[in-house]
């Protein structure tokens, strides 16, 4: 059947953000719809983007219609609603990544309008003064943050607000002093590596050194009122030969830039729905985002390489934070096809939940559960319990079930629902054999490794001690029974082989990490110890080797193997 390859997205501008509203097959119809949106008072602009899907499934986009309303600079810029804010106990806390992420969220509309990062704001007196004079944005933002912090700490919200205002005045005073410094005015943020080296040569205090270097960088960046331009400038500064501390600071500013939804949308390009966008962001964090249709020098290729090398830990943190908030937020994962919302959830779940852990750790497990809660029909604690069940049904396999439940147990949500979590884990461990836990299709080694990974994850979890030890004990017993039933140790300790071969196999088995730290490992160790106690073990171990040199080397290697396996 013939498939149309050209569609037209109708996007609207609201609160400084472009959001897709409709997809049309006809350009004229799309343009007419965009013009209708423009008549609504709350809409700041409308545009039509033609999306052409090539035969190789790549997408090429072009804006064919765009109109924005002229508005007063101060209009519609208010403090954004936020649901959490990190605590700041000392002055330096206000400059940390967690605080800048909070700033990014609470005055996001303002920062996007000014094309400004929190780092530039905190290190530039002119920008701080402009913010303080911008209607009631600053006091409204401070009130919002102070209320959240006070709720978490139990402090009086008015006292917390006064403390934040006091710190803001101190930040402004320090920025004013830096602006007047002749020495700083001579430094160029364009060559940040050189600038940092100069500052480091005369300033010994790390915090002060970082601050002055960022003042110079911010003075350079603030002249560039283009998000991708700032980003390109910053990634150019990340090079292997640059001092690690200088790269660390640049990484922090890249994290600020990636806090802008505008930048993220530009990087991702057209995506069919939120679920796919979340998956692509996760790909980017791991340096795996598809970019074959872009030039080799495109910023996305550069970011992919840097993320793949783990060169941007702060930037990764910012993107992971965005992924979690998108998951826990109200936006549908597949807004255009609501009937496919459950499938979109599974798509995200499969991308973020792996046998080696949840992407982004326990907070992501909580975000996934809150997404399942939003998809449900019941509210309150009962609805949250059902959200855990919904997530488990989508997961399917037992090992990822353990990963999810253990990670969820390490979150505030998990603490509130620990009884549910323990109950699901107990149901999982109620099998009467290893095959009942991991299935019969896996090879023996993979079965043992899977059970042991589940054991280790439970052993190191936040599950309360009594049920945790009971669960680990059950897995250990099942694996020990499996060793006996399958004769695993006997197969490794074949009497027809030399003592040397048998002993090496058993010690390697003990040190392989595929045995639970309990009965299963003890069974294998006991067999090794039995051999070590063999009369004249040293002579018997090497008796099949022809030369003295080979015998000495074999003995040395074996005792090293014993030590690595924990026998010495």
Give domain limits for the chain. Answer: 6-68, 91-237, 262-428, 490-564
- Classify the phi-psi angles of 57: left when phi > 0, otherwise alpha if psi is within -120 to 50, otherwise beta: left
Strand-by-strand arrangement of the 17-24 sheet = 17-24, 6-14, 45-53, 59-68
Q: 27: which 2 tokens? A: 């350009």
Contacts of residue 400, Cβ cutoff 8 Å, sequence gap at least 6 = 353, 354, 355
In which element (H, E) is residue 8 found? strand 6-14
Which of these, 256, 259, 252, lies nearest to 237 by C-alpha position?
A: 252
The CA distance from 424 to 392, in Å, is 9
Q: What is the dihedral of CA 501, 518, 357, 439, to 10 degrees?
A: 80
pLDDT band at 1 (very low <50, low <70, confident <90, very high): very low
pLDDT, tens only, 362-390: 999 999 999 999 999 888 999 999 999 99
Q: 550: which 2 tokens? A: 């080979």
pLDDT band at 71 (very low <50, low <70, confident <90, very high): low
In which element (H, E) is residue 61 found? strand 59-68
First to last CA, the chain: 70
pLDDT, tens only, 454-486: 999 999 999 999 999 999 999 999 999 999 999
The CA distance from 185 to 488, in Å, is 73
The CA distance from 246 to 197, in Å, is 8
Radius of gyration of the chain (CA): 30
Degrees, nearest 5: CA angle 468-348-341: 115
pTM above 0.75, yes or no: yes
In which element (H, E) is residue 437 found? helix 434-438
* Cross-strand pairs, 11: 20, 47
Contacts of residue 213, Cβ cutoff 8 Å, sequence gap at least 6 = 192, 195, 196, 199, 200, 246, 249
* Cross-strand pairs, 61: 51
pLDDT, tens only, 188-213: 767 899 999 999 888 888 899 999 99
Q: Is the dihedral of CA 153, 155, 161, 163 positive or negative?
A: negative
Task: State the pLDDT at residue 568.
Answer: 67
């Amino acid at each position: 059947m013939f498939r149309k390859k050209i569609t037209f997205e109708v996007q609207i501008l609201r609160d400084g953000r472009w959001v897709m509203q409709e997809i049309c097959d006809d350009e004229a119809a799309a343009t007419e719809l965009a013009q209708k949106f423009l008549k609504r008072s709350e809409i700041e602009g409308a545009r039509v983007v033609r999306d052409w899907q090539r035969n190789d499934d790549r997408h090429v986009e072009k804006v064919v219609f765009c109109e924005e309303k002229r508005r007063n600079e101060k209009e519609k810029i208010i403090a954004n609603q936020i649901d959490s804010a990190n605590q700041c106990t000392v002055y330096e806390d206000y400059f940390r990544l967690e605080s800048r992420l909070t700033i990014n969220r609470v005055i996001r509309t303002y920062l996007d309008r000014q094309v400004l990062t929190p780092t530039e704001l905190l290190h530039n007196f002119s920008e701080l003064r402009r913010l303080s004079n911008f209607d009631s944005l600053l006091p409204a933002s401070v009130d919002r943050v102070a209320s959240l912090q006070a709720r978490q700490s139990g402090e009086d919200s008015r006292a917390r607000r006064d403390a934040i205002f006091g710190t803001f005045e101190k930040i402004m005073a320090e920025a004013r002093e830096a602006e007047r410094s002749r020495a700083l005015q001579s430094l160029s943020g364009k060559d940040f590596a050189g600038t940092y080296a100069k500052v480091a040569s005369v300033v010994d205090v790390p915090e002060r050194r970082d601050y002055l270097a960022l003042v110079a960088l911010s003075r350079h960046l603030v002249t560039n009122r283009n998000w991708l331009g700032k980003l390109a400038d910053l990634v150019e500064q990340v090079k292997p030969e640059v001092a690690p501390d200088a790269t660390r600071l640049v990484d922090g500013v890249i994290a600020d830039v990636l806090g802008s939804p505008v930048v993220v949308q530009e990087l991702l390009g057209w995506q069919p729905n939120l679920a796919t966008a979340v998956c692509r962001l996760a790909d980017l964090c791991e340096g795996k985002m598809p970019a074959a249709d872009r030039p080799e020098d495109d910023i996305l290729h550069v970011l992919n390489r840097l993320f793949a090398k783990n060169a941007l830990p702060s930037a990764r943190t910012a993107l992971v934070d965005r992924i979690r908030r998108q998951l826990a937020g109200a936006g549908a994962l597949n807004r255009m096809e609501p009937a496919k919302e459950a499938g979109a959830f599974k798509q995200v779940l499969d991308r973020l939940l792996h046998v080696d852990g949840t992407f982004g750790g326990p907070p992501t497990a909580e975000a996934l559960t809150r997404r399942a809660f939003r998809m449900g029909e019941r509210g309150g604690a009962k609805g949250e319990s059902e959200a855990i069940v919904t997530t488990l049904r989508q997961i399917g396999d037992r090992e990822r079930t353990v990963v999810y439940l253990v990670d969820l147990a390490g979150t505030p949500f998990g603490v509130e629902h620990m009884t549910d979590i323990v109950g699901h884990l107990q149901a999982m461990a109620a099998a009467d054999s290893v095959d009942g836990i991991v299935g019969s299709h896996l090879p023996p080694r993979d079965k043992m490794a899977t059970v042991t990974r589940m054991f280790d994850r439970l052993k190191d979890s936040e599950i309360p001690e009594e049920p945790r030890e009971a669960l680990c004990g059950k897995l250990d017993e099942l694996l020990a029974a499996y060793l006996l039933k399958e004769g695993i140790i006997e197969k490794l300790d074949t009497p027809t082989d030399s003592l040397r071969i048998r002993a090496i196999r058993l010690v390697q088995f003990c040190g392989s990490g595929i045995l639970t730290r309990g009965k299963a490992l003890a069974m294998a160790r006991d067999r090794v110890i039995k051999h070590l106690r063999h009369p004249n073990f040293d002579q018997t171990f090497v008796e099949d080797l022809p030369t003295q040199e080979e015998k000495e080397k074999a003995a040395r290697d074996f005792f090293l193997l014993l030590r690595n396996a924990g026998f010495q």
